[in-house]
Amino acid sequence: MKVSLTKKGKRIQMIFVLFVIFLLLPFSFLSLNTASKTLKQEIYDFARGSYDLLLRPQGSRTTIEKEFGFVEENYLGIGDGGITIEQWQAVLQREDVEVAAPVAAIGLYAGSEISFSLPERKEPIRYTVRYTTTDGVHTYPLGEPLFAYTIPDNDTPIGYSEIVHESLGNVFRGDIPSFTFPRTYHQVVAIDVEQEKKLTGEDFSLLESGPTGLFQDFDEVPILSLAESKIPLKAEIQIDTLNISPSEWEDIKKRYNVDLKNGIGFVAIQHREPRQFEQLLSELSEKTSVSSEKYELDFSKVLSPFYDQFIYADENYEFHTVDEEGIPENGYMTWSQYSQETFFDVSPVEYHLSGEQITIKQVGMDEDAGIPLYRKLEEKSNYVKDGANIEGKGIYFKHVGYFEVERDDQSFAASPLGIYGIQPTYLAKDKDTKITPTALPGSFITTPAHGLISIHWAEQLKGEAPIDAIRVRVAGIDGYDQVAARKIKSMAAEFENEGFTVDIVAGASHQWLNIDVEGFGEVVQPWTTLGAADTIIESWDIVKIVLVIFFTIVSTVYLLFSFLHLLKTRKRDEELLTSFGWTKKHIRQLRLKEWTALFGIPFLLAFITFLVVGFFTKQFVLILYFVTVFLMTCFIMFFVSMYHNHRKEKRRIPSGKGSVTWQNVWYYRHSIFFSIIQIVVLTVVSLFLTFVVSFQEKRTVQTTLGVYVHGEMEWFYTMLFITLFSLVILTLLETLITLWKQRANEMMMFVQIGWRKKELYKYYLGEVSIWSLGSVLFGLILSVTGYKIFFGEIVKSLIWISSISLIIFSLIIILSSLILATVLHKSTKKL
């Protein structure tokens, strides 16, 4: 005779759920393991930049660096030095150092003082030139307008009389109209040619060019201009053709006592008779224009900071350089070796912190141009000039070429080189509006290095300890992992003991900060976030731990509930078999037989599934995870059996207090206990886990490396969330089904005495509302309290918390209603 104490429906239900658990848990653990390996590989591949350690003099960190762990992308600005050449050489000679690239900020120097020329015009012409600069948002005038008149005149060697602005006296020619540029300032930085090449991959060997010996009293310093950093300079040129006849011009010369044949020209009047010259200018300005042309010339497209060769316009007023077209046929230009007589030192920007808001205030304004200043300026001299004589040794920068630093938009690591500053700054409300330093010093944006010179000049130009930073790449490391991190940290500690300020740049990434700048509003600037890779790994470790805990809790609660319920429902049947004469041995054999089927069928199905999956994917570790889950299930079963055998059944007595609904809840408290636990777990998973993942995501996606890694990991998160919620919902459904089936006989009795379905729904769902609402609220309290203890306040999410809790409660009521309707239908269809 075939005897089974477990009903067929219950057997199928348990076999199905166990099969699902046996599948989901190993796949989830494999996903967690795969996600960890993926994350570590991404970190290893992308978290190490061009160097690992940033060494600066003691006390170099700014307030914002100390507060947030940020380093400004172009962190040097103008440095005061503090590291000697000997200290750098000592770092370079270490066997565990692959690269030690020094950098010394020399100062903000004026660009090469050269002129540009326009096409010759043979009619009487008035030239008016107005210069402007820009910060990307506002436009500012540079200097007063320049003017020049060219009048055809056969009494002069070149065929023109010239009346010009005093600054153009030795520049302008009638046959080659030439104008000087206004002074613009550019940061000059000293580097070591060999080490910088190792760091950036660029060739800086031109900095070692020999001198030309052009000026005996001057040192010629080879300089490279940054090709990408053009001068933000425009010129509006107005060319008026004047109605002046030859006879009228002769009359003007007589009236102003100009005798070109005897060497008395307009220049003499300009210096000897300034009042007459002003009167002449007034008279010429009133001359009627026959025609007028205007050209807006954008020199930022052609003029590099220290370029010192020909710049000229063709007949279409398109500009060319010697590099492009060679020397023009009527080549003419002026150049001054005194361009580097003075320079500026500027102070760092003072950042003000108010909570997490960073602000920058103006410290003044350029009186002539109206450009706001955000740094204090100090003008210094390299030598003293007295007429044509100089005291001391003069220097001038000899342009020998260009250098480029390619922007790597795919780089997720950040190694702030301190001098190139190729990442843009833009308005927060308009990302297309880029903000740049103007042509004059004082911008809140640290000016990138527009000129590079050799470190050999650093001591002469700056003093005994000229170096501001050393960028160190550790030898023997290919990527960023725990071993590399330990080696880098160990070396950092050694350098700190030597007196350096040390920042670990390996594992850093770019972050865009919103900064409130007076005069601009909110702008977005690139900074480097130190320890970004460690933050990403730490965040994933936290999420992984939380996920493993929840997977374990959900599965364990279900297994405990199912096994306890199974043993409890069998107890009376086994007692009945004993009364029929069955021995304990036979009953144990029957129990073993049934449980073998309950466990064996899902075990075999899952095992075959994992064998097939392992064969195609080579992920045989799934079988190990599966065996672990199966052994854990067996252990839980053994524990439940031991507990059940020693547990004494207590008689349940109604409380006799409160409403009938409350008395029913209390009476069936043992039956609904696991349902309550599952609802609490569902609430905690929905709230606490979501809080944790959201918080960790916020921590990681602040940097470009974090955004990339999170994007690569997103499908893992999605899959694990779906799996976990599926497991929670599945086990919750199973407990609710079991709960209502236990009370099927009670429902039949109510129907027999005349209860309608509407009354039954109200009666039973009233009970569900009490304990499910209490469970949701308890889960909510656990989530909020746990999150506050481990991570902090979540006051801003109260509305969202309430909404999720309401959704969970509504979901439970809906599920209960559907299950209750099914059980009622099956229980009453025979009546």
Token pair in block for residue 601: 């069928």
Predicted local confidence at residue 273, as pLDDT: 81
Assessment of whether the complete model's pTM goes beyond 0.85: no
Predicted local confidence at residue 131, as pLDDT: 93
Token pair in block for residue 138: 């506002």
The rounded distance, in Å, linking the Cα atoms of 756 and 697 is 52
C-beta of residue 185 within 8 angstroms of C-beta of residue 110: yes
Amino acid at 275: R
Q: Nearest CA to 723 among 29, 28, 13?
A: 28
Amino acid at 197: K
At 176, is the secondary structure helix, strand, or coil? coil
What are 693-732's pLDDT values in tens digits? 777 677 666 666 666 666 666 776 677 677 777 767 776 7
C-beta of residue 636 within 8 angstroms of C-beta of residue 563: yes
Write the DSSP symbol of residue 685: I
Cα torsion 220, 223, 229, 231 to 10°: value is 10
Q: Show me where the domains of the chain are located.
A: 8-44+534-828, 50-108+343-506
C-beta of residue 190 within 8 angstroms of C-beta of residue 103: yes
Predicted local confidence at residue 76, as pLDDT: 60
The rounded distance, in Å, linking the Cα atoms of 784 and 688 is 7
| Enclosing H/E stretch for 752 | helix 744-752
The rounded distance, in Å, linking the Cα atoms of 463 and 204 is 23
Token pair in block for residue 602: 């899902």
Write the DSSP symbol of residue 274: H
Residue with tokens 């199912």: 562
Predicted local confidence at residue 263, as pLDDT: 65
Q: Which long-range contacts (CB under 8 A, 24 or more apart) does 541-547 make?
A: 542/692, 542/696, 543/692, 543/693, 543/696, 543/717, 544/32, 544/35, 544/36, 546/688, 546/689, 546/692, 547/28, 547/32, 547/689, 547/720, 547/724
Predicted local confidence at residue 494, as pLDDT: 92
Q: Nearest CA to 174 among 128, 117, 130?
A: 117
Residue with tokens 């000129």: 451
Instruction: Give me the count of residues in the chain.
Output: 831
Count of C-beta atoms within a 10 Å radius of residue 734 = 21
Predicted local confidence at residue 293, as pLDDT: 92
Count of C-beta atoms within a 10 Å radius of residue 318 = 11
Handedness of CA 619, 624, 630, 636 (dihedral sign): negative
Predicted local confidence at residue 826, as pLDDT: 74
| Enclosing H/E stretch for 400 | strand 394-403
Predicted local confidence at residue 701, as pLDDT: 62
Question: If you write DSSP's letter for every residue of 286-351 in order, what string do you get?
Answer: TSPEEEEEEEEEEGGGT--TT--S-EEE-TT--EEEHHHH-S-TT----B-TTTTSEEEEEPPP-E
Predicted local confidence at residue 146, as pLDDT: 92
Sheet containing strand 319-321, strands side by side: 178-180, 115-117, 311-313, 319-321
Predicted local confidence at residue 239, as pLDDT: 94
Predicted local confidence at residue 795, as pLDDT: 54
Amino acid at 591: R
Residue with tokens 């020999």: 210
**Three state DSSP letters for 392-442:** CCEEEEEEEEEECCCCCCCCCCCCCCCCCCCCCEEECCEEEEEECCCCCCC
C-beta of residue 540 within 8 angstroms of C-beta of residue 713: yes
The rounded distance, in Å, linking the Cα atoms of 508 and 142 is 40
Count of C-beta atoms within a 10 Å radius of residue 465 = 18
Amino acid at 486: R
Predicted local confidence at residue 412, as pLDDT: 45
Question: If you write DSSP's letter for every residue of 529-587 in order, what string do you get?
Answer: ETTHHHHHHHHHHHHHHHHHHHHHHHHHHHHHHHHHHHHHHHHHHHHHHHHTT--HHHH
User: With 0-12 CB in 10 A as exposed, 13-18 as middle and 19+ as buried, what is 214?
Assistant: exposed
Token pair in block for residue 39: 């994350």
Predicted local confidence at residue 455, as pLDDT: 92
C-beta of residue 246 within 8 angstroms of C-beta of residue 155: no
Strand partners, 514: 524
Predicted local confidence at residue 5, as pLDDT: 46
Pick out the chain residues at pLDDT < 50.
Answer: 1-5, 409-410, 412-414
